[in-house]
Amino acid sequence: MILLDAKDSLPLYRQLYDRLRARILTGQLPAHARLPSVREMVHDLGVSRNTVQGAYQELYAEGYIYSAPRSGYFVSSLDQDAAQRSLKPASHAPELQPEPAAGCRFDLHPARLDPGSFPGEIWRKCFIDSLRKHRDALVAYGDPQGELPLRRELQRYLERSRGVVCEVGQIVILAGLQQGLDLVAHLLRDSHRVVAVEDPGYFMPRAVFGNHGFQVLPVPVGPAGLDLEQLAAGAGSIAYVTPSHQLPLGCVMPVASRLKLIEWAESGGRFIIEDDYDSELRYHGKPIASLQGLRPDGNIIYSGTFSKVLSPALRISYLVLPRVLLAAYRRQFRDHFCTVSLLEQQTLARFMELGHWERHLRRMRTCYKRKHDRLLRAVEDHFGPRARVTGQGAGLHVVVQLVGAAPGEAELLRRAAREGLRLYPASDFYLAHKPQGTTLLLGFGAPSLEEIDAAVALLSRICA
């Protein structure tokens, strides 16, 4: 006996479908059993013809029943064991939720931007412009390499401000460094097995190349950046470097080393990945020019991002591929789609075209220079000779080494967390090597000037 409930929010045909489906899956209605005709069912249940036909059509479309000409509908033959297991509800494991952000008074994370800094009003206008102009483009896929207006703006900006020499055909728009490195790994995996990374250095290249089965070779970083003798002595044939502002130590690779690195790459069909992640943020003098610009025809893959100055949550980055890789890129990726929203690409292109990007850049440089200077002063005031600062003058963090007896990193992180002070462990950046003594990375992007003072005072107390 099938009971339908007219008060249920589920339509009657759907209720009937559910009841019949359950009987078929449990075997109550066995294989090849004939279903009542539509007319019989209408009569038995007192429902409309549409209700019964709707249910039968669904069951038929999904293969629960089959039809025989002029004899009606019959139950399909299903594997009964498999069928019955399909009726069991899924187990309900405890919900897997992302960890909630811990309560935190001062956030000295090195990759946090100034809280009020996103140019929301201007971005809104550029977005509305680009939605109006490109609405009709949204019904198809965009350019796989990234929208041309954005690549044009980028090409001009990179040439003028970063000394990068390239054509728009070399630029690929991507959703972050991880995707850029993934693309590079795909392009180079057949001919390269070992990638040299900076130690200390950013974890991302290790993670991505490791995932691709590359051997990842840590090479120590000295005051002039990556140790080129150790690089040359190792088996690496790809080198990931941050020459304009080493992450995390903050040093700049001098031009003599840059030229040597370029020669290393060219002499053996090797490749350099230049990650120029935040070199726009330099607080004295102009930004250090790119390595790519020293040898635009060299084996240099240049990577840049909008994450450090505009927003890390927009997920817009780019690669400049050397010409030598373009054919392989097109062969492997011509059928792939761009991973960045066309609307956001066009919004950013408009933002750049109207000069907002360079204005925003200048504004952020001023904002962060004040925070940077305040942080240095606060460390001087509160720590005095107990701390030595390096890597200053650029980016969103400085490196502070504690001098003399100081708690170790783990103990310090525990104490800081207890006081609501968020620190980022420097040791996370180290692979084969270890930081000397207790080393802290102090980010100054997120806190206000007053908070910087208070946070450093607090830090000084818990370091004692």
Stretch 207-246 residues interacting with a second copy (CB under 8 A):
207, 211, 224
Out of 26, 28, 48, 57, the only residue in the binding site for a second copy (CB under 8 A) is 57
Out of 30, 33, 43, 203, the only residue in the binding site for a second copy (CB under 8 A) is 203
Q: Which among 357, 344, 356 is positioned nearest to 147, based on CA atoms?
A: 344
- By CB under 8 A, is residue 162 in contact with a second copy? no
Out of 128, 233, 432, 457, the only residue in the binding site for a second copy (CB under 8 A) is 128
Contact criterion met (CB below 8 Å) for 181 and 208: yes
What's the rounded Cα separation, in Å, for the pair 121 and 118? 9
Q: Which among 367, 364, 377 is positioned nearest to 442, based on CA atoms?
A: 377
Q: Which is nearer to a second copy, 82 or 235 (CB)?
A: 82
The first and second tokens of residue 432, run together, are: 């084969």
Q: Which is nearer to a second copy, 176 or 387 (CB)?
A: 176
- By CB under 8 A, is residue 338 in contact with a second copy? yes
Q: How far is the CB of 384 from a second copy (least distance, A)?
A: 25
- By CB under 8 A, is residue 252 in contact with a second copy? yes
Out of 37, 117, 401, 448, the only residue in the binding site for a second copy (CB under 8 A) is 117
Out of 38, 148, 354, 389, the only residue in the binding site for a second copy (CB under 8 A) is 148
Q: How far is the CB of 339 from a second copy (least distance, A)?
A: 4
Out of 71, 91, 102, 355, the only residue in the binding site for a second copy (CB under 8 A) is 91
Q: Which is nearer to a second copy, 70 or 132 (CB)?
A: 132
Out of 1, 6, 102, 139, the only residue in the binding site for a second copy (CB under 8 A) is 139
Q: How far is the CB of 249 from a second copy (least distance, A)?
A: 16
- What is the footprint of a second copy within residues 23-42 (CB under 8 A)? none
Q: How far is the CB of 45 from a second copy (least distance, A)?
A: 19
Please give the span between the terminal C-alpha atoms of the chain, in angstroms, as a whole number. Answer: 79
Distance of CA 318 to the CA centre of its chain: 12
- By CB under 8 A, is residue 102 in contact with a second copy? no
Q: Judged by CB under 8 A, which stretch of 193-201, 248-256, 402-410, 451-459 contacts a second copy? A: 248-256
Q: The tokens 């000397």 sit on which residue?
A: 436
Out of 104, 122, 194, 343, the only residue in the binding site for a second copy (CB under 8 A) is 343
What's the rounded Cα separation, in Å, for the pair 153 and 157? 6
**What is the layout of strands, in order, in the sheet containing 238-241?**
171-174, 317-320, 300-305, 271-275, 238-241, 194-199, 215-222, 225-226
Q: How far is the CB of 284 from a second copy (least distance, A)?
A: 7
Q: How far is the CB of 377 from a second copy (least distance, A)?
A: 21
- By CB under 8 A, is residue 332 in contact with a second copy? yes
Q: Which is nearer to a second copy, 132 or 418 (CB)?
A: 132
The angle that helices 323-333 and 177-188 make with each other, rounded to 10 degrees, is 90
Out of 34, 39, 85, 105, the only residue in the binding site for a second copy (CB under 8 A) is 85
Q: How far is the CB of 83 from a second copy (least distance, A)?
A: 6
Out of 170, 237, 246, 439, the only residue in the binding site for a second copy (CB under 8 A) is 170
What's the rounded Cα separation, in Å, for the pair 203 and 429? 6
Out of 37, 230, 311, 427, the only residue in the binding site for a second copy (CB under 8 A) is 311
Q: Which is nearer to a second copy, 138 or 432 (CB)?
A: 138
- By CB under 8 A, is residue 9 in contact with a second copy? no
- By CB under 8 A, is residue 361 in contact with a second copy? no
- What is the footprint of a second copy within residues 428-457 (CB under 8 A)? 445-446
Contact criterion met (CB below 8 Å) for 162 and 186: no
